[in-house]
Amino acid sequence: MKKEISYFVATSLLATTALAPAAFGQDESAEGDQVMSVYERYRPDYDAPGIRSGSFLFYPSIEAGGKFDSNIFAQESNVTDDFIAVIKPTFALVSDWNTDYLTVFADANIARYADNGSEDYEDFNVGVSGRKDISHGTDIHADILYMDGHEDRGSPDAIGNQVEPASTSTFKASVGFKRDVSILSVAVDATYEKKNFDDVALNGGGTLNNDDRDRDRKTAKARVGYELADGREAFLQGTIDRVEYDNSKEDGGPQRNSDGVEIVGGAAFDLTGSARGEIYGGYMKRSFDSDTLGEIDGIKFGAELLWNVSGLTSFTGSIKRSIDETTVGGEDANGVFTNSSGIVSTLFFGRVEHELRRNVLLNAQASYTKQNFELTTREDDLINFGVGAKYLLNRNVNVNVGYDYSYRDTTAQGQDYSRHAFMVNVKAQW
């Protein structure tokens, strides 16, 4: 599940990164009006110039490197390590218009394991994102994204005796309207997402049927904000969604179709060039069609912060509490096996970025996630820590090195694990 979230985050960052050079190419002075982290900042001597094609800029790149993973199967004992060769081609075609924007982007992540070919994968993402400005402060926007990936071995829904990781595909489309004029702002968004998991062969024979995990999600969200003094805003936000599984009951499981609702209120701020963020709290609830799964409800809360501690150092932090999907089961308080209705996850994340020199960037990040599997006694604690550095040789070449540590402590027997990963890659961009 954490891997699935990472796909969305990574793809969103790809689109944002692709747009940044074009946006600042139009008006470099805009940088002083926005709160940006060290890694996001415009660097004319080291950023890819792009290849102009009419009123568009084309940003191709390719990244190649190696990785060592100390525990490729995310096992508690008898761990297996391996060296992995990775190549990541990407491109983005970004409009260079005074108003509106349109971007088409794609990336691939291809890995080959030295000794365990069953773990090889070819992931890719492709998408289109656009915005039409109706008037000053008012626009409509839309995004379409397709992702073809794989499920990490450390996912709670992954079974240890799979021959290979489960392949996944996700289609996501969204459309929205935003009006931010004077002291009142309104935003409305609708999203459709379809997720599929391929069946996987099992060691010793047989097949893991993942059809009971295939699902659609339809989401509608509305937010109303009221501007206060000095870049501060109070807001109220509501979200409803419907999750429908393709055939969860056909595989002997409960009917996992459900309806969700979230209502939060909070405050946001944007202090020019210094900090921006928001904090919110409210209520969340998910009701299942199956009587055996019942419902999950509780307090919804979260916070986000980007703070430029100094001209050379930035800090990004977030807290998020959510209800996540799962199909795993476990023992209840009476020791009887039962299906979990969902995971209540609470995530704490922090990242520090530092500009050692204009062309030498450092980062360190850490996260802690608490997962409670409803209707069972299972609880997971997930810890991640990583450090990295980027050396910008020129506008076309940079070198990245990094280390990542991940650890899971779970009440599920035999499913604890720890992993160390070391990575180095060279990226060429135009």
- Percent above pLDDT 70 for the chain: 91
Q: What are the C-alpha distances in Å from 215 to residues 37, 84, 218, 246?
A: 36, 32, 10, 6
Q: What is the DSSP letter of 13?
A: H
Name the residue among 117, 108, 111, 102 with its Cα closest to residue 89. 108
pLDDT category at 251 given cuts 50, 70, 90 is low
DSSP characters over 346-375: EEEEEEEEEEEETTEEEEEEEEEEEEEETT
- List pLDDT tens digits, range 289-302: 988 898 999 999 99
Among 243-252, 305-314, 343-352, which is the least confidently predicted range?
243-252
Residue 114: the pLDDT is 97
CATH of the domain at 98: 2.40.160
- Residue partners of 327: CB distance under 8 A and separation at least 6: 157, 212, 213, 248, 253, 256, 339
Residue 97: the pLDDT is 93
Specify the residue for token string 């979260």.
302
Helix, strand or coil, per DSSP, at residue 388: strand
- Please answer whether residues 145 and 172 qualify as being in contact, where contact means their C-beta atoms are separated by less than 8 angstroms: yes
What's the domain range around 143?
Answer: 2-429
| Integer Cα distance of 145 and 124 in angstroms | 11
pLDDT category at 254 given cuts 50, 70, 90 is confident
pLDDT category at 22 given cuts 50, 70, 90 is very low
- List pLDDT tens digits, range 206-247: 888 888 899 999 999 999 999 998 889 999 999 999 999 987
- Assess whether pLDDT exceeds 50 at residue 188: yes
- Assess whether pLDDT exceeds 90 at residue 329: no
In one-letter notation, the amino acid at residue 29 is: S
Residue 33: the pLDDT is 64
Helix, strand or coil, per DSSP, at residue 31: helix
Residue 255: the pLDDT is 83
Residue 166: the pLDDT is 92
Residue 328: the pLDDT is 87
Name the residue among 119, 256, 126, 138 with its Cα closest to residue 200. 119
Residue 170: the pLDDT is 97
Name the residue among 211, 164, 165 with its Cα closest to residue 327. 211
Buried b (16+ CB within 10 A) or exposed e, 390-418: bebeeeeebebebebebebebebeebbbb
- Please answer whether residues 81 and 55 qualify as being in contact, where contact means their C-beta atoms are separated by less than 8 angstroms: no
Residue 21: the pLDDT is 40
- Percent above pLDDT 90 for the chain: 77
| Integer Cα distance of 353 and 361 in angstroms | 7
When divided into structural domains, the chain yields a total of: 1
Name the residue among 201, 205, 144, 194 with its Cα closest to residue 168. 194
- Assess whether pLDDT exceeds 80 at residue 17: no
- List pLDDT tens digits, range 119-153: 999 999 999 999 999 999 999 999 999 999 999 99
Question: Tokens representing 200?
Answer: 């996987």
Specify the residue for token string 């904000």.
225
- Assess whether pLDDT exceeds 90 at residue 287: yes
Among 103-107, 122-126, 151-155, 418-422, which is the least confidently predicted range?
151-155
- Assess whether pLDDT exceeds 60 at residue 30: no
**With a threshold of 0.75, does the pTM exceed it?**
yes
Helix, strand or coil, per DSSP, at residue 130: strand
- List pLDDT tens digits, range 31-48: 446 889 999 999 999 999
Q: Which residues pair with 90 in a beta bridge?
A: 61, 107
Residue 14: the pLDDT is 38
| Integer Cα distance of 42 and 22 in angstroms | 10
Question: Tokens representing 224?
Answer: 């109303």
Dihedral, CA of residue 141, residue 147, residue 152 and residue 158, to nearest 10:
100
- Please answer whether residues 286 and 260 qualify as being in contact, where contact means their C-beta atoms are separated by less than 8 angstroms: yes
Name the residue among 49, 23, 24 with its Cα closest to residue 102. 23
Residue 365: the pLDDT is 98
Q: What are the C-alpha distances in Å from 177 to residues 94, 136, 137, 241?
A: 21, 13, 11, 18
Sign of the torsion angle spanned by Cα atoms 415, 109, 128, 245? negative
- Assess whether pLDDT exceeds 60 at residue 155: yes
DSSP characters over 274-299: TEEEEEEEEEEEEEESSTTT-EEEEE
Among 328-332, 352-356, 401-405, which is the least confidently predicted range?
328-332
Residue 16: the pLDDT is 37
- Assess whether pLDDT exceeds 50 at residue 1: no
pLDDT category at 252 given cuts 50, 70, 90 is low
Specify the residue for token string 């939060």.
264
- Please answer whether residues 55 and 76 qualify as being in contact, where contact means their C-beta atoms are separated by less than 8 angstroms: no
Residue 181: the pLDDT is 87
- Please answer whether residues 361 and 355 qualify as being in contact, where contact means their C-beta atoms are separated by less than 8 angstroms: yes
Question: Tokens representing 289?
Answer: 């069609």
CA-based radius of gyration for the chain: 22
Name the residue among 122, 87, 75, 128 with its Cα closest to residue 106. 128
